[in-house]
């Protein structure tokens, strides 16, 4: 009741599963998160570890291997905790400042981390922000790193969310997966 949970699961690797596969992952991750009784970071790590374990086990059985990039964000009061595995991007506009996670979107080593389903232990990256009323958050795939940050900032400063999305759509040359 005191937290809002956001999750974005994105395909990775050679094979993409049907869309329902990623929707089921999102539902399961959300259920797992709210079942956990520990801290936010502990719950996020548990969610990532459980999903990664399931994907690794599936992939060991042969057949098609599935991998996934995932971003989660938890809003608790004025704290926003963001976690990522793989190559997801977060852009936050709050209190007149635009922040990105990873911090340097031009650093391929920071941006492109192994997705879930590849290694037995996922490489979970976490960050935390203070937010206020009117903050804007984007969760998306690595395509966001190709956008000019100044143009994204201009889109995020628009009056309402439909205008924000319209501004972001203009920046997408090909395809981008995002949630704002």
Are residues 94 and 48 in contact, defined by beta-carbon separation less than 8 angstroms?
A: no
Sheet of 125-130, strand order: 3-12, 67-76, 79-85, 125-130
Please give the pLDDT value at position 1. 65
State which residues of the chain have pLDDT below 50. none
What tens digit of pLDDT does each residue of 90-113 get? 999 999 999 999 999 999 999 999
Per-residue pLDDT tens digits for 149-178:
999 999 999 989 999 999 999 888 778 888
pLDDT of residue 178: 87
Q: Minimal CA–CA distance to 68: which of 113, 126, 6?
A: 113
Predicted confidence at residue 14, as pLDDT, reads 84
Report the pLDDT value the prediction gives residue 18, as an integer from 0 to 100.
85
At 135 the three-state DSSP class reads: coil
Going by C-beta distance under 8 Å and a sequence separation of 6 or more, which residues neighbour residue 43?
Answer: 33, 36, 74
> Measuring CA to CA, how many Å separate 94 from each of 43, 54, 97?
25, 36, 5
CB atoms within 10 A of CB 144: 24
pLDDT at 37: 87
């Amino acid at each position: 009741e005191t937290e809002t949970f956001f999750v974005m699961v994105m395909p990775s690797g050679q094979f993409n599963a049907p869309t329902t596969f990623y929707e089921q992952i999102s539902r399961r991750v959300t259920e797992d998160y709210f079942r956990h009784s520990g801290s936010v970071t502990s719950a996020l790590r548990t969610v990532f570890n459980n999903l990664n374990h399931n994907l690794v086990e599936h992939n060991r059985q042969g057949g098609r291997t599935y991998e996934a990039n995932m971003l989660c964000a938890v809003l608790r009061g004025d704290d926003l905790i963001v976690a990522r595995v793989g190559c997801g991007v977060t852009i936050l506009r709050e209190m007149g400042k635009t922040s990105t996670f990873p911090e340097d979107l031009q650093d391929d080593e920071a941006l492109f981390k192994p997705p879930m389903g590849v290694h037995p232990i996922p490489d979970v990256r976490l960050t935390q922000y203070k937010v206020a009323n009117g903050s804007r958050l984007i969760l998306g795939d690595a395509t966001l790193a190709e956008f000019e940050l100044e143009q994204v900032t201009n889109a995020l400063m628009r009056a309402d969310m439909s205008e924000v999305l319209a501004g972001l759509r203009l920046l997408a040359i090909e395809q981008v997966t995002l949630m704002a």
